[in-house]
Chain A
Amino acid sequence: MTRRRTIVTAAILAGALGLTACGTNRQESTSGGAGGASSCDTSKGTLVIGMVAPLSGGLSALGLGMSHSADLAVDQANQKCTVPGYALAFQAEDDQATPQVAGQAATKLASDPNVVGVVGTLNSSTAQTVQPILADRSIVQVSPANTNPTLTLGEQATTAPKRPFPSYFRVATTDLIQGPFGAQYLVQKAGKKNIAVIDDGKTYGAGLADQFAKEAQKLGATVVAREKVGEKDTDFSGVIAKVRPSSPDAVYYGGEYPAAGPLSAQLAGAGLNVPLMGGDGIVDPQFVALGGRAGDLATNVGAPAESLPSAKQFIADYQAANYAEPFGAYGAFSYDATNVIIEALAKAVQGGTWSEDTRKAVVSNVQSTNMQGAGGPVAFDEFGDTTNKVLTVYTVKGDNFAPIEGSTGSFQG
């Protein structure tokens, strides 16, 4: 009897362990920063820069790059004693690219009186749940990656823009620019006239695909099919069979690389050897590993980090810091977003002491940011959107995306 009970307990424990493993958040320690900070005055305590991003799951390649880049910015600030009297700590919370988990992560950060600001999120859908939680406590949020227009412009982004959260900013431009920019390239430069448009039905993907389709039609192309797939789908044969008879000469996909890579491979598998194009959500080497083909296209926010003189220092520092994963598509922007918060904090504290009331000053300092970042100039308009509206077209070469030369630019409507 006792033996049986032991085994049952063991089974239950095993299950419980599994569950807790799901919920565990990996925290990046600022060991390097603490060591370097010894020469600075940190007598007033430790302030926290938070991050909410997918550190596990399908999008972790992007999320981990964001996390390391922000960690680097915090480490450097500690070494330079940027905020006199305080040490900075970086705390990354995993949102698993799921809005509900992101909400929990944001609540956890918001309950800490020492949290100064939050960098993130990656996904527009998770941003929707994180925004109100942080805004409630006037915690400044700067996203390096959100591109859905409604996050800064409200529900009627195109007709009657109204900023929903004064504490939310982003250094990435919006899909109101990205979608049409992609359409311009695909229709005018690449000469594609019959385009099938597919999206994953999420905030980011559906919004981007709509903006793309609108502009593509305006430029004289035909949207021969408009389909939706599930975010976690792996088998796209159904949707491909559906669009195949309309013989598209290109497929535009609004969504992220875990679905886009297999979709590209399966297009070719079904005899549709046409390029797939997407937005910033598919720009990652994983896209190619999961089936993305040479010649597939993508737009990404900003100018390519490798080409910017301002990014060279960041890339060198990142490599010197020996992080386990590459900085990814949003590394330079995450680094900038973190520095925006640190700079605003330094100005707000200015030798004084931190209290939760200081947060409002941090928000207004972020609003008036004007700095030269790794990803280009950083300044915000009255909605909290970046004034740097530059994008670049990338194409798959070998096992990664490479920027197409001369494609960096912006969209003028």
Chain B
Amino acid sequence: MLATFLSQIVNGLILGSLIGLIALGYTMVYGIIQLINFAHGEVFMVGAYGGLFMFTYLLPTFIQRQWYLALPLLLVGGAAVSTVVAVLMERFAYRPLRGAPRLAPLITALGVSVALQELVRNFYPGATAALPFPRVFVQGTWEIPVPGGTVPLRWTGLLIIVLSLVLAAVLTAYVNGTRMGRAMRAVSQDSDTARLMGVDTDRVIVLTFALGAALAGVGGIMYGTDLGFVNIDMGFQNGIFAFTAAVLGGIGNLRGAVVGGIVIGLVKALGGQYLPGGTAYDYVWIFVVLIAVLVFRPQGFFGESERVRA
């Protein structure tokens, strides 16, 4: 019993920290320009395909075989592809709409999302179906002994938890502790005043998109490495969860995004185990929790007052 409970906690933490990592991108962009960037899930997907492309067509065999060479290269490559896509997207889809009514960029975001998905579907060789992803990390499972059984923790899962939390911490430190971070917070509080004070708002906004995208790209690579395959739906599915996590944690708040992600992961894992309907209904419980939280705390866990944090 205990072993099962702890196994589900582990499953929840793995999924949750990945969702949290993606949610950071949603929450930062919202914090700066109040745009819900629905294409962010696709940025996550594009990062994974970018890494796959790099592995399949660019890396020489001796690097492919050594995970400690291939993994860091893929993580950087995936993050780079995601960042380039996000920066282009900001430049050509969102910046022209700055100052337009709020609905215009929102609809554009949906359009960008569909366009990215279709571009990958049509132009990446074989992407109409799921594609195997190289397992560029130690394979295998650590069987943690507990009373009454063992709790399996796969090494790729551990990688997701550790790397996600480390990256989230680095990001928070960056936003809170550096000059550029201060500029981001200033733009988020009041972009007009920030500009009057000499902050280059356009640059700050591009940087925000780039940071969020880089995290999503890293997430995409870890997702592929963990599951052993990627498909073009992965961005949509995980994007919805990440968006939900950002809202649950209080959109615009960095800590909220990570906490929201982990809550969602745990609810999915434990809901599938213990609540009626089992794993067939585990997605339902995520949204039940979201609705319940929003009824009593519409601003999410970490309230509106801290929105400026992004």
Contact = CB atoms under 8 A, between A and B. Distances in A.
Interface of A: 3-4, 7-8, 10-12, 14-19, 21-22, 56-61, 201, 227-230, 232, 234-235, 237-239, 241-242, 244-245, 258, 261-262, 265-266, 269-271, 286, 289-291
Most buried by A among B11, B93, B121, B122: B11
Nearest to B132: A289
A57 B121 CA distance: 9
B72 interface: no
Contact of B114 (A3, A15, A227): A15
B145 interface: no
B279 A18 contact: no
Interface stretch (B23-31, B78-86, B105-113, B188-196): B105-113
B172 interface: no
B283 interface: yes
Interface stretch (B63-71, B175-183, B231-239, B298-306): B231-239
Given A228-B278, A232-B237, A290-B229, A18 B114 contact: yes
A242 B4 contact: yes
A285 to B, nearest CB: 11
25 contacts: A3-B96, A11-B108, A11-B111, A15-B114, A18-B118, A60-B129, A61-B129, A227-B278, A229-B280, A230-B283, A232-B237, A234-B231, A234-B234, A234-B237, A237-B15, A238-B268, A238-B269, A241-B273, A242-B278, A244-B152, A245-B1, A262-B227, A266-B227, A269-B141, A270-B7
Contacts of A56: 121, 128
B173 interface: no
A238 B273 CA distance: 7
B201 interface: no
Most buried by A among B117, B129, B268, B272: B129
B200 interface: no
A15 B283 CA distance: 28
A125 B280 CA distance: 18
A111 B97 CA distance: 43
Interface string B257-269: 0000000000011
Given A228-B279, A235-B11, A265-B227, 5 more contacts: A19-B114, A57-B129, A235-B15, A242-B8, A290-B229
B90 interface: no
Given A58-B130, A237-B11, A262-B229, A11 B154 contact: no
A4 B228 contact: no
B141 A271 contact: yes
A228 to B, nearest CB: 4
Interface string B15-41: 100000000000000000000000000
Given A8-B96, A241-B11, A271 B152 contact: yes
A271 B150 contact: yes
Contacts of A61: 129
Interface residues of B, number: 51
B107 to A, nearest CB: 8
A270 B227 contact: no
A242 B154 contact: no
Contacts of A18: 111, 114-115, 117-119
Q: Classify the interface of chain B: helix, strand, loop or mixed.
A: helix
A400 B7 CA distance: 32
A251 to B, nearest CB: 14
A272 B110 CA distance: 41
B154 A286 contact: no
Contacts of B92: 7, 10-11
A229 B154 contact: no
Contact of A22 (B4, B118, B273): B118
A231 B54 CA distance: 30
A11 B93 contact: yes
B98 to A, nearest CB: 10
Contacts of A286: 129-130
Interface in B137-151: 141, 143, 149-150
A58 B111 contact: no
B163 interface: no
A62 to B, nearest CB: 10
Contacts of A22: 114, 118
Contact of A290 (B115, B119, B128, B132): B132
A245 B3 contact: yes
B75 to A, nearest CB: 20
A89 B103 CA distance: 47
Contact of A269 (B97, B112, B132, B154): B154
Nearest to A259: B130
B169 to A, nearest CB: 25
Given A57-B128, A58-B129, A258-B130, A238 B11 contact: yes
Contacts of B1: 245
A270 B152 contact: yes
Interface in B239-288: 268-269, 272-273, 278-280, 282-283
Given A17-B118, A21-B121, A244 B7 contact: yes
Contacts of A289: 132, 229
B279 A239 contact: yes
A222 to B, nearest CB: 19
B245 to A, nearest CB: 15
B291 to A, nearest CB: 20
B154 A270 contact: yes
Nearest to B156: A269
Contacts of A10: 92
